[in-house]
C-alpha cells in the first residue's frame, strides 16, 4: 500500500447565497497516494477548482476535513504547491526572482536559493530566460515559470488548476508532453500530481485516475475511472477512444453512471418545472439561432463531437447552447446525437419577426420567463423591480447565479418582446404588445 | 479636504473618495462623533498654553532675489518632508485598514471625514497645538507647516493604496498563501508593487495641490500673532508688504520653476519607473516616458547601489520573518470573534462617550450649541459661491477642454501646461487680484468666487481634456459620417462621453474651492483688507482672534457641508458615471 498523501473526508463547501448557504460541493471523499496523477474532470460550475483550493488549504471546507499525511489542514497545505491557470507570475520580478520566491519565504539563504532555482529552471527548459521579465515571455514560457516556481520548493503534491487551458493547442500539447516525460523519467521532484481540467482528452492523457465531478445541483463525485494505458499514451488506440467515450457519457449525464443523476429540469413535466429546478443555461439568443442554423445545414441532426470539431469549440462551451435549445423544445438529444425538432426547424427557417414569435411561445414554457411575464401582467402598473425577482430566486441560487439567471431571462425576454428592462432604474416592464396567456 | 483626484481616464490609475461606502451606517456616525471629539481635544491642548506664549522672534524675510534660492530650498524641503510623512502614514494606515476587519470599520469612515476637513483648519489647529508643546520654537512652526501639507496629501494616497490592497489580484493572494510567504515578503513583493502605480499617481497629484498649502502655511496668523517661516511663500508675502512688485515677480517665477522642476526631475521619472509595476502582462500601448529616467538608467551607479544594498535587503527579509506568515487559520472561532467584537466596540464606545461628555461640557461653558448657528448660516453663502464657481467653470472650460482634447496635437501641448497651472499655488496670485478688486471696487462677495476659481477651475479643464481624449475615434467618425453635429452631437456623444472624467474634475474643483474659501474670503493687500461674508471668512476670523469654540464650530460645520455635498450630490453622480457612462 502506497502512502496516502492527501485525503478528503465528507467534504462539503457552500457559499453564502442571497438567502442562506448554498452548496457548491457535497459529499466528497477522495484520496491521493504517492506516485499517482489524479485528474479532477468536470464542466464549469462543478466545483473542481474549489475542491483543488480546499486541497491546497486556501479555502476552508464548510464541513468535513482535508488532511495531508494524516494531519488535518488548518492553513495552507505545507506539502503542496500550486500551478495557476492564469500563471500568477509577479510581473515586476524576473523569471529567476519569481522562481526563488517560495524559497525566500522559507528563509533559504541567497546562494542556495539561487542554485536551487537555476536547477528548477534548467529542469523545466527555461534556461536562457533567467533574467527575462514575464511580459517578455510567450504563454507557454510563462507557464513554465509557474511550474518551476512550484517545483523548486519540492512539494509532495503538485496541484495544477487548468494549467494548459490558457495556452494555444500546440503549446499546450508540447508542454503537457514534456511534463509527462519528466514525470516518467523519475526526475520529477514531487510525489503526486492533482490536475483540474475540463478537457476530457487531457485528463485521459495524463492521469492514472480520472475523477468526474457532476454539477447539478452541486458538485459531487459522479464516477471515478482508473486509466491503465501505457505511457506515452496514443490517442489512436481503440482502448483510449473507448475510455474517452465512456467518460464522456458520464460527463454529459446521458450514459450509464455509477451515481444516480440529480433531477434535471428537462426530465420533468413542464407543469412541474420551477425557476429553481430549471435554471436557464447561459446562452445568448444569437448563438442559439446560429447553432440551430448549423444543425439545419446538416439536415437537422449532428453528433455533438462532430459539431465541436466543426466549430473548433470545446464541448464545454457548446453544452449550454445545447441545453438551451433542448429546454426550448427546439432540439432533441439522443445520447450524443442532436436533432432539430419541428419547432426548431420552423424557428431557424422563419424570418426575423416570425422566429421571434416562435421563440416567445417557447420561452413562455420556461418557468423563470413565465414567472416574470405573469408577475408583470398582474402588477398594477405593469412594472416590477429587479430586486423582486432577485429575492424570489435568492433561496435557490448563489448571488452570482441569481444575477446570471436574470441576465439570461432579460436577454431572452427582450428578444421575445415579452418584457423590457430598464437597467438604470432596475425595473422590468411588460411589453405593450404582449399579454400573456392565462395561467393553467 | 479631497482637493486632488486623478481623472478616471482609461490609462490613469488611482482612486478617489467617491468610490466606497455609499450607504450610511452606524460606524459612520460613531466615527464622525469621534473625529469631533479629537478636534476638540487638540484645540483644548492648544488653548491651555496660548496665554503663556511669548511671540517668537519671527525671522525677517530679505526680499533680495539673491536669497530666493535659499528660500526655495527651504520650501522644497518642507514639501518633501510632508511627502515622506504622507508615504509612511499611507503605508501603515492603509495596511492596517485593509487587514484588520474591526479597525477597517473605524479607519475608513475616519479617512472619509478627514478628507472633508478643511486643510487650513488642520493648519491652525496644528500651529496652536505644536506651539503649546514646543513654546516659542521655530521647529513647532516647521512641523505645523509640514503637517498642513501632509494633510493635503495623505488622505488621497491612503485611499488609493487601501483600494489597491483590497484589489490585489485573487491569484496573487492565493499564490502568496500557497507558497506560505511571510507577511513582510508579501508586503514588499506583492502588495506594495501592485499598489505602486496608484500610489505614485496620487502622490504626484496630491503633491501638486500641496504647493497651495505650503504658501498658506508660510505666512499665518494665529490668535493675533503673525508667524513667518522662511520660504518662497513668505518671500512673496514680504514683497507684497513692501509693495515690491519686482520681488513679487521673482517669487512667482521661482514658484513656476519649482513646480515644473520637481515635475520634470522627480515625478515624471517616478511615474515612468512605476510602469514596471503594471499587472497586465502585455506591453502597454501608451508607455509613460521620462528623459531623466532614461538618463538615470544609462548610469551605472544605480546598479552599483542595488548590489550594495542586496545584503541589507536579505537581512530585512530575514528580520521580517518575526512578523509571521501570511496564513491565517482557515476556520474562525465564531465565539471568540464575537467576544472580540464586543470588547472592541465597547472600548470604542466608552472612549467616545467620555470625549463627548467633555465636549458637551466645554460647549456649555462657551455659549452652548448656539455657536453652531452662525457657521451653519454662513456655510450656505460659501456653498453658493462653490456652486456658482463649478457652474461657470463648467460652462467656460468644458467646451475649451473638449476642443483641446479632440486634437491630439493640441492635447500634447496643453496637458502639461494645465497640469502645472493646477499645481501652481493660486494664493500666490491673490494679492494681485485683491489689488484689482480694490481698484475696481468689486465686492469680495463676488470677487471671492474669482479667487477660489483661480486654483479650482483647472481641474475641470484638465478632466474635460482627458474625457474628450477618451472618446473612441471610431465613435467620432461614425458621428461625422451620420452628420451628427452641433447640439445633437454634444447631447448624444460628447456629454455622455466626458461625463465620468468631468465628474471627477468637478468633485476635485469643488473640494479645492471649499479649501480655498478660508483664504479667499478675507484678503489683504497693503493696508486694504477685504472681507466677504461666508464660512471661510468665519474660520479665518476665528483663527486670527484665537476664538477656539468658534474655530471648532467653523471647522466642524465646513466638514459637515463637504460631507453632505459629497454624499448627496457627488457620489450619486460618480456612481452614475461609473455604472451608466463608463467606457
Residue B303 included in any domain: no
The number of angstroms, rounded, from the C-alpha of A303 to the middle of its chain's C-alpha atoms is: 22
Picking from A72, A90, A423 by the largest number of B CB atoms within 10 A of its own CB, the best residue to mutate is A90
User: B151: exposed, middle or buried (C-beta count within 10 Å: 0-12, 13-18, 19+)?
Assistant: buried
The verdict on B246 touching A (C-beta cutoff 8 Å) is no
Phi and psi torsions of B254, nearest 5°: -60, -40
Residue B327 included in any domain: no
On chain A, the residues whose CB falls within 8 A of the CB of B329 are 74-75
With cell 481623472, the residue in question is B7
Alpha-carbon distance of B148 to B427, in angstroms, equals 15
The verdict on B231 touching A (C-beta cutoff 8 Å) is no
Count CB atoms within 10 A of the CB of residue A310.
Answer: 12
The verdict on A74 touching B (C-beta cutoff 8 Å) is yes
User: How many angstroms separate the Cα of A294 from the Cα of each of A132, A203, A425?
Assistant: 46, 29, 38
- Written as nine digits, the cell of A258 is 455509477
The range of the structural domain enclosing residue B551 comes to 68-279+371-580
For residue B58, the model assigns a pLDDT of 55
Nearest to residue A359, comparing CAs of A268, A284, A273, A427?
A284
For residue B1, the model assigns a pLDDT of 40
On chain A, the residues whose CB falls within 8 A of the CB of B277 are 91-92
Three-state DSSP class for residue B531: strand
The verdict on B279 touching A (C-beta cutoff 8 Å) is yes
pLDDT tens digits along A292-337: 888 888 887 888 878 888 887 777 778 888 889 988 999 888 777 8
For residue A1, the model assigns a pLDDT of 61
Percent of chain A whose predicted confidence (pLDDT) is above 70 = 92
Alpha-carbon distance of A361 to A377, in angstroms, equals 16
The verdict on A54 touching B (C-beta cutoff 8 Å) is no
Residue B293 included in any domain: no
Instruction: Residue count of chain B, please give it.
Output: 583
Check: CB of residue B274 under 8 Å from CB of residue B197. Answer: yes
Residue B165 included in any domain: yes
B177, B283, B314 ranked by CB distance to A58: nearest: B177
Cβ separation A93–B189 shorter than 8 A: yes
For the entire predicted model, the pTM comes to 0.79
Check: CB of residue B191 under 8 Å from CB of residue B168. Answer: yes
On chain A, the residues whose CB falls within 8 A of the CB of B324 are none
Size of interface A-B (CB pairs under 8 A): 85
Alpha-carbon distance of A232 to A216, in angstroms, equals 34
For residue B549, the model assigns a pLDDT of 86
Residue burial A92-107, b: 16+ Cβ < 10 Å; e: rest: bbbbbbbbbbbbbbee
Residue B544 included in any domain: yes
Check: CB of residue A428 under 8 Å from CB of residue A376. Answer: yes
Mean pLDDT, to the nearest integer, of A124-134? Answer: 90
Cβ separation A153–B321 shorter than 8 A: no
With cell 503538485, the residue in question is A158
End-to-end CA distance of chain B: 28
For residue B3, the model assigns a pLDDT of 36
Q: Assign residue B483 the CATH number of its domain.
A: 1.10.3720.10
On chain A, the residues whose CB falls within 8 A of the CB of B182 are 105
Mean pLDDT, to the nearest integer, of A262-289? Answer: 72
Three-state DSSP class for residue B15: coil
Mean residue pLDDT across chain A: 86
| Strand A4-17 to A80-83 pairing | unpaired
A90, A105, A149 ranked by CB distance to B180: nearest: A105
A75, A80, A110 ranked by CB distance to B330: nearest: A75
Domain count within chain B: 1
The number of angstroms, rounded, from the C-alpha of A128 to the middle of its chain's C-alpha atoms is: 36
pLDDT tens digits along A201-211: 899 999 999 99
- Written as nine digits, the cell of B437 is 478688486
Instruction: Residue count of chain A, please give it.
Output: 440
The verdict on A78 touching B (C-beta cutoff 8 Å) is yes
Check: CB of residue B272 under 8 Å from CB of residue B90. Answer: no
* Contacts for A390 with CB less than 8 Å, ≥ 6 apart: A18, A402, A403, A406
Alpha-carbon distance of A215 to A202, in angstroms, equals 20
User: B514: exposed, middle or buried (C-beta count within 10 Å: 0-12, 13-18, 19+)?
Assistant: buried
Count CB atoms within 10 A of the CB of residue B45.
Answer: 15
Residue B456 included in any domain: yes
B179, B277, B281 ranked by CB distance to A81: nearest: B179
pLDDT tens digits along A226-249: 999 988 888 888 898 889 888 888
Alpha-carbon distance of B38 to B281, in angstroms, equals 45
Percent of chain A whose predicted confidence (pLDDT) is above 90 = 42
Cβ separation A90–B317 shorter than 8 A: no
The verdict on A139 touching B (C-beta cutoff 8 Å) is no
| Strand A427-430 to A383-385 pairing | antiparallel
Nearest to residue B476, comparing CAs of B555, B541, B405, B392?
B405
For residue A51, the model assigns a pLDDT of 94
For residue B476, the model assigns a pLDDT of 86
**Alpha helices (H) in B134-286, listed in sequence order:** 138-166, 170-178, 183-186, 192-218, 232-242, 245-262, 268-274
CA quadruple A146, A151, A153, A158: dihedral sign: positive
**Alpha helices (H) in B320-372, listed in sequence order:** 334-365
For residue A409, the model assigns a pLDDT of 93
Nearest to residue A91, comparing CAs of B360, B525, B274?
B274
| Bridge partner list, B418 | none
For chain A, positions 153-182, list CB contacts with chain B under 8 A: 153
Residue B458 included in any domain: yes
Place A267 in a pLDDT band, splitting at 50, 70 and 90: low
Check: CB of residue B296 under 8 Å from CB of residue B151. Answer: no
What's the complex ipTM?
0.75
Q: Which residue has the higher pLDDT, A348 or B92?
A: B92
Give B499-522 as a 3 state SS string.
HHHHHHHHHHHHHHHHHHHHHHCE
On chain B, the residues whose CB falls within 8 A of the CB of A101 are 179, 181, 185, 189
Mean pLDDT, to the nearest integer, of A182-204? Answer: 91
pLDDT tens digits along A13-71: 887 765 567 778 888 999 999 999 999 998 777 889 999 999 999 999 999 999 999 99
Give chain A as a 3 state SS string.
CCCEEEEEEEEEEEEEECCEEEEEEEEEEEEEECCCEEEEEECCCCCHHHHHHHHCCCCCCCEEEEEECCEECCCCCCCEEEECCCCCCCCCCCHHHHHHHHHHHCCCCHHHHHHHHHHHHHHCCCCCCCCCCHHHCCHHHHHHHHHHHHHCCCCCEEEEECCCCCCCHHHHHHHHHHHHHHHHHCCCCCCEEEEEECCHHHHHHHCCEEEEEECCCCEEEEEEEECCCCCCCCCCCHHHHHHHHHHHHHHHCCCCCCCCCCCCHHHCCHHHCCCCCCCCCCCCHHHHHHHHHHHHHCCCEEEHHHHHHHHCCCHHHHHHHHHHHHHCCCEEEECCEEEECHHHHHHHHCCHHHHHHHHHHHHCCCHHHHHHHHHHHHCCCCEEEHHHHHHHHHCCCCHHHHHHHHHHHHHHHHHCCCEEEECCCCEEEECCCCCCCCCC
Residue B434 included in any domain: yes
Check: CB of residue B262 under 8 Å from CB of residue B248. Answer: no
On chain A, the residues whose CB falls within 8 A of the CB of B580 are 424
On chain A, the residues whose CB falls within 8 A of the CB of B171 are 84, 86, 88
User: A417: exposed, middle or buried (C-beta count within 10 Å: 0-12, 13-18, 19+)?
Assistant: middle
On chain A, the residues whose CB falls within 8 A of the CB of B284 are none
The helices-and-strands tally (H runs, E runs) of chain B is: 24, 4
With cell 449550454, the residue in question is A320
On chain A, the residues whose CB falls within 8 A of the CB of B181 are 101, 105
Tens place of pLDDT per residue across chain B (583 aa): 433 333 333 333 333 333 334 455 666 777 777 777 877 777 765 565 444 444 444 567 788 888 888 899 889 999 999 999 999 999 999 999 999 888 888 898 888 888 888 888 888 788 878 877 877 777 888 888 899 899 989 998 999 999 999 988 888 999 999 999 999 999 999 999 989 988 998 898 889 888 988 988 888 777 777 778 888 988 988 887 787 888 888 988 999 899 889 988 898 888 888 888 877 644 444 566 777 777 777 766 666 777 778 888 888 877 877 788 877 677 777 888 888 889 988 898 888 888 888 888 888 887 777 888 999 999 999 999 999 999 999 999 999 999 998 888 888 888 778 877 888 888 888 888 888 888 898 889 999 999 999 888 988 998 899 889 888 888 888 888 888 888 899 988 999 999 988 998 898 899 889 988 988 998 877 777 889 999 999 998 888 887 888 888 998 999 999 989 988 998 889 888 888 887 6
3-state helix, strand, coil in chain B (%, to 5): 80, 5, 20
Amino acid at each position: 500500500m502506497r502512502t496516502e498523501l492527501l485525503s478528503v473526508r465528507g467534504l462539503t463547501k457552500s457559499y453564502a447565497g442571497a438567502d442562506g448557504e448554498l452548496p457548491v460541493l457535497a459529499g466528497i471523499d477522495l484520496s491521493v497516494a504517492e506516485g499517482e496523477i489524479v485528474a479532477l474532470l468536470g464542466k464549469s460550475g462543478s466545483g473542481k477548482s474549489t475542491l483543488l483550493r480546499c486541497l491546497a488549504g486556501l479555502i476552508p471546507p464548510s464541513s468535513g476535513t482535508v488532511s495531508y499525511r494524516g494531519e488535518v489542514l488548518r492553513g495552507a497545505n505545507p506539502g503542496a504547491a500550486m500551478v495557476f491557470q492564469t500563471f500568477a507570475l509577479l510581473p515586476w520580478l524576473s523569471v529567476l526572482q519569481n522562481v526563488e520566491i517560495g524559497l525566500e519565504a522559507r528563509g533559504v539563504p541567497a546562494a542556495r536559493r539561487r542554485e536551487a532555482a537555476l536547477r528548477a529552471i534548467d529542469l523545466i527548459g527555461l534556461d536562457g530566460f533567467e533574467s527575462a521579465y514575464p511580459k517578455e515571455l510567450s504563454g507557454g514560457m510563462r507557464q513554465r515559470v509557474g511550474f518551476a516556481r512550484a517545483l523548486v520548493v519540492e512539494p509532495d503534491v503538485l496541484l495544477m488548476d487548468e494549467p494548459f487551458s490558457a495556452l494555444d493547442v500546440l503549446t499546450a500539447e508540447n508542454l503537457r508532453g514534456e511534463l509527462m516525460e519528466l514525470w516518467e523519467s523519475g526526475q520529477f521532484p514531487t510525489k503526486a500530481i492533482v490536475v483540474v481540467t475540463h478537457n476530457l482528452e487531457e485528463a485521459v492523457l495524463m492521469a492514472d485516475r480520472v475523477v468526474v465531478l457532476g454539477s447539478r445541483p452541486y458538485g459531487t463525485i459522479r464516477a471515478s475511472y482508473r486509466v491503465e494505458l501505457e505511457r506515452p499514451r496514443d490517442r489512436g488506440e481503440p482502448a483510449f477512444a473507448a475510455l474517452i467515450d465512456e467518460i464522456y457519457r458520464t460527463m454529459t449525464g446521458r450514459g450509464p453512471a455509477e451515481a444516480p443523476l440529480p433531477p434535471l429540469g428537462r426530465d420533468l413535466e413542464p407543469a412541474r418545472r420551477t425557476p429553481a429546478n430549471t435554471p436557464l443555461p447561459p446562452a445568448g439568443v444569437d448563438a442559439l439561432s446560429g447553432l440551430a442554423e448549423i444543425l439545419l445545414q446538416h439536415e437537422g441532426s449532428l453528433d455533438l463531437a462532430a459539431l465541436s470539431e466543426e466549430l473548433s469549440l470545446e464541448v464545454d462551451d457548446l453544452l449550454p447552447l445545447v441545453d438551451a435549445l433542448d429546454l426550448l423544445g427546439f432540439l432533441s438529444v439522443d445520447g450524443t446525437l442532436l436533432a432539430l425538432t419541428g419547432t426548431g426547424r420552423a424557428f431557424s427557417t422563419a424570418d426575423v419577426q416570425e422566429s421571434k414569435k416562435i421563440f416567445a411561445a417557447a420561452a413562455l414554457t420556461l418557468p423563470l420567463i413565465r414567472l416574470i411575464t405573469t408577475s408583470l401582467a398582474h402588477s398594477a402598473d405593469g412594472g416590477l423591480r429587479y430586486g423582486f425577482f432577485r429575492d424570489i430566486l435568492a433561496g435557490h441560487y448563489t448571488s452570482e447565479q441569481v444575477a446570471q439567471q436574470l441576465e439570461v431571462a432579460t436577454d431572452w425576454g427582450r428578444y421575445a418582446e415579452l418584457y423590457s428592462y430598464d437597467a438604470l432604474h432596475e425595473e422590468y416592464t411588460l411589453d405593450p404588445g404582449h399579454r400573456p396567456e392565462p395561467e393553467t | 479636504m479631497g482637493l486632488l483626484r486623478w481623472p478616471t481616464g482609461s490609462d490613469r490609475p488611482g482612486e478617489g473618495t467617491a468610490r466606497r461606502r455609499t450607504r450610511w451606517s452606524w460606524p459612520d456616525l460613531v466615527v464622525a462623533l469621534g473625529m469631533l471629539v479629537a478636534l476638540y481635544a487638540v484645540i483644548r491642548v492648544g488653548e491651555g498654553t496660548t496665554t503663556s506664549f511669548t511671540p517668537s522672534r519671527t525671522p525677517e524675510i530679505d526680499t533680495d532675489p539673491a536669497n530666493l534660492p535659499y528660500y526655495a530650498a527651504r520650501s522644497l524641503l518642507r514639501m518633501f518632508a510632508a511627502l515622506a510623512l504622507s508615504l509612511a502614514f499611507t503605508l501603515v494606515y492603509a495596511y492596517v485598514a485593509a487587514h484588520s476587519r474591526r479597525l477597517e470599520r473605524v479607519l475608513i469612515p475616519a479617512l472619509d471625514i478627514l478628507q472633508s476637513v478643511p486643510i487650513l483648519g488642520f493648519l491652525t489647529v496644528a500651529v496652536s497645538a505644536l506651539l503649546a508643546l514646543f513654546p516659542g520654537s521655530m521647529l513647532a512652526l516647521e512641523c505645523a507647516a509640514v503637517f498642513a501639507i501632509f494633510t493635503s496629501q495623505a488622505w488621497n494616497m491612503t485611499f488609493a493604496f487601501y483600494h489597491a490592497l483590497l484589489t490585489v489580484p485573487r491569484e496573487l493572494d492565493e499564490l502568496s498563501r500557497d507558497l506560505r510567504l511571510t507577511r513582510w515578503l508579501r508586503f514588499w513583493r506583492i502588495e506594495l508593487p501592485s499598489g505602486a502605480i496608484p500610489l505614485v499617481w496620487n502622490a504626484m497629484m496630491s503633491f501638486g495641490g500641496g504647493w497651495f498649502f505650503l504658501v498658506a502655511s508660510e505666512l499665518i496668523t494665529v490668535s493675533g500673532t503673525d508667524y513667518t517661516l522662511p520660504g518662497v511663500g513668505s518671500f512673496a508675502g514680504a514683497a507684497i508688504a513692501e509693495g515690491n512688485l519686482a520681488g513679487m515677480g521673482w517669487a512667482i517665477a521661482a514658484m513656476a520653476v519649482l513646480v515644473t522642476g520637481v515635475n520634470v526631475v522627480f515625478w515624471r521619472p517616478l511615474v515612468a519607473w512605476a510602469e514596471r509595476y503594471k499587472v497586465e502582462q502585455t506591453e502597454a500601448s501608451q508607455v509613460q516616458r521620462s528623459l531623466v529616467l532614461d538618463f538615470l538608467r544609462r548610469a551605472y551607479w544605480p546598479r552599483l547601489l542595488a548590489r550594495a544594498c542586496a545584503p541589507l535587503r536579505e537581512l530585512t527579509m530575514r528580520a521580517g520573518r518575526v512578523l509571521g506568515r501570511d496564513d491565517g487559520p482557515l476556520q474562525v472561532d465564531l465565539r471568540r470573534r464575537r467576544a472580540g467584537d464586543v470588547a472592541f466596540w465597547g472600548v470604542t464606545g466608552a472612549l467616545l462617550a467620555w470625549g463627548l461628555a467633555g465636549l458637551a461640557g466645554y460647549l456649555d461653558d462657551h455659549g452652548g450649541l448656539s455657536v453652531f448657528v452662525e457657521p451653519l448660516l454662513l456655510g450656505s453663502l460659501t456653498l453658493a459661491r462653490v456652486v456658482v464657481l463649478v457652474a461657470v467653470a463648467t460652462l467656460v472650460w468644458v467646451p475649451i477642454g473638449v476642443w483641446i482634447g479632440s486634437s491630439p496635437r493640441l492635447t500634447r501641448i496643453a496637458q502639461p501646461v494645465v497640469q502645472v497651472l493646477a499645481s501652481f499655488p493660486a494664493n500666490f496670485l491673490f494679492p494681485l487680484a485683491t489689488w484689482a478688486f480694490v481698484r475696481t471696487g468689486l465686492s469680495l462677495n463676488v470677487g471671492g468666487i474669482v479667487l477660489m476659481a483661480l486654483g479650482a477651475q483647472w481641474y475641470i479643464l484638465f478632466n474635460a481634456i482627458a474625457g474628450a481624449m477618451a472618446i473612441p475615434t471610431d465613435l467620432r467618425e461614425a458621428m461625422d459620417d451620420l452628420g451628427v453635429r452641433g447640439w445633437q452631437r454634444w447631447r448624444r456623444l460628447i456629454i455622455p462621453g466626458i461625463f465620468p472624467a468631468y465628474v471627477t474634475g468637478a468633485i476635485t474643483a469643488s473640494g479645492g474651492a471649499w479649501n480655498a474659501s478660508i483664504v479667499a474670503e478675507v484678503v489683504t493687500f497693503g493696508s486694504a483688507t477685504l472681507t466677504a461674508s461666508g464660512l471661510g471668512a468665519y474660520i479665518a476670523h476665528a483663527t486670527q482672534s484665537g476664538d477656539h469654540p468658534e474655530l471648532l464650530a467653523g471647522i466642524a460645520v465646513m466638514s459637515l457641508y463637504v460631507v453632505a455635498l459629497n454624499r448627496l450630490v457627488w457620489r450619486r453622480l460618480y456612481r452614475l458615471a461609473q455604472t451608466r457612462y463608463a467606457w
